[in-house]
Amino acid sequence: MSVAGQVFVLSGPPGAGKSTLGKRLRQRFADLAYSVSLTTREPRPGEVHGVDYVFVSREEFLAKVASGEMLEHVEVFGNLYGTSAAAIRQSIDGGRDLLLEIEVNGGLAVKRAFPQAVMIFLLPPSPAELEARLRGRGTEDEPKIRGRLERVAYELAQARHYTHLVVNDDLERAVEEVATLLTAERLRLERRWPLVAPAWGL
C-alpha cells in the first residue's frame, strides 16, 4: 500500500517566480507531479497547450465547474483559472507529491480541501524588483502589468494564511529552500516507515 503524496501550494504575486521555481524543482525532483491548470486566457507566444495550461473556452470551463470537475477556480485579470480535482487525487493517491503554482484564493481553497497541504508563499525581494521582473518577462502589455500590480497588496495580505515564506532574491537559494521543505516532508515518519520497516522485519 503506498502512502499518500503531499500537496505543495506555491503562491505569490505574478512575477514572484512561481513558474521559474516550479520548473527548477521538477528538474530536481523527477517524481514531483504538477497540475496543469485550465484557463480561459489566450496562450502567450511559446506556451504549449497541455503543458503550460489547458486552454479552454469560457463555456468549456464553466461546464467543468458545473459538473464538479474543478477542485478550485478563480477569476483574475479577466480570465478563469482552475485546478482539476481528478489530477490532484490521482497524484496523491498514487503516492506522488504534487506542486501547485496558483494564486492565493485558489491556494486557500486547496488548503480547505487538503488541510495537511504545505503552504508556501513566495515573494520577490522588493516591490521595485517585482515590477522590474514583471516588465522584464515581457509577456504582458502595460494595462495587464498594471492590473497585476494592483492586485499585489491583496495577495500579500493573504500571506498570513500560509505556513512558509520564501524570498526569491537569489534564485539558487530560493530553490534550495523550497527543496528543503519537500525533503522535510519526505522524511516524516509515516512516509519513511513503510520504506524502512521491511529491512527490520516489521
Q: Give whichever of 118 and 123 is closer to ligand ADP, judged by the CB atom.
A: 123
Residues with Cβ within 8 Å of residue 84, at least 6 apart in sequence: 35, 38, 64, 69, 70, 71
Does 72 sit near ligand 5GP (CB under 6 A)?
A: yes
Strands of 77-132 (E only): list them. 79-84, 98-101, 118-123
- Cα separation of 107 and 126, whole Å? 22
Contact (Cβ atoms closer than 8 angstroms) between residue 98 and residue 34 = yes
Strand 38-39, strand 79-84: pairing: antiparallel
Q: Which is nearer to ligand ADP, 5 or 14 (CB)?
A: 14
Q: Site size for ligand ADP, by CB under 6 A?
A: 13
Is there binding between residue 41 and ligand ADP (CB under 6 A)? Answer: no
Q: What is the DSSP letter of 31?
A: T
136 binds, among ligand ADP, ligand 5GP, none (CB under 5 to 8 A by kind): ligand ADP
Grid coordinates in use for 151? 492586485
Q: How far is the CB of 52 from ligand ADP (least distance, A)?
A: 11
Q: Is 83 in the site for ligand 5GP (CB under 6 A)?
A: yes
Q: CB-wise, 5 or 14, nearer to ligand 5GP?
A: 14
- Using the structure block, give the residue that is written with the C-alpha cell 522535510: 184
List the one residue from 87, 102, 130, 174 that touches ligand 5GP (CB under 6 A): 102
**How far is Cα of residue 17 from the mean position of the Cα atoms in its chain?**
11
Q: How many residues bind ligand 5GP (CB under 6 A)?
A: 16
Q: Rule CB under 6 A: which residues touch ligand ADP?
A: 12, 14-20, 133, 136-137, 168, 171
Q: Rule CB under 6 A: which residues touch ligand 5GP?
A: 14, 18, 37, 41, 72, 74, 76-77, 81-83, 101-103, 105-106
